[in-house]
Amino acid sequence: MDTKLTLRLNENVIERAKTYAQNHKISLSRMVESYLDSVTEQKSGNIGITPLVESLSGVIELPEGFNYRKEYADYLIEKYK
């Protein structure tokens, strides 16, 4: 069930939001609803993998036994000499 809500916001913020909504082909109401839903939803213990991270998975192939911690430590030592 949809219910009407009145908000008071800075005029510049409203204009930028309208432009953003129009560029992304979404209504301003839907954009606000999505935001409020995301900040109020109950978080589970699981953190999902975002589509971007999933698309990057497997892009780099590392040699067998690669020790990323040692490599990173060596990098930091060299950086801060």
In a domain, 32, yes or no: yes
In a domain, 61, yes or no: no
Give the chain's domain count: 1
Separation between Cα atoms, residue 4 and residue 40, nearest integer Å: 19
Question: 45-80 burial by CB neighbour count: b if 16+ within 10 A, else e?
Answer: eeeeeeeeeeeeeeeeeeeeeeeeeeeeeeeeeeee
Separation between Cα atoms, residue 34 and residue 11, nearest integer Å: 21
In a domain, 20, yes or no: yes
Per-residue pLDDT tens digits of the chain, which is 81 residues long: 889 999 999 999 999 999 999 999 999 999 999 989 888 877 666 677 888 888 888 778 888 999 989 999 999 999 998
Residue numbers of the domain that contains 21: 7-41
In 3D space, the residue among 8, 31, 6 whose CA is nearest the CA of residue 18 turns out to be 31
DSSP state of 45: S
In a domain, 29, yes or no: yes
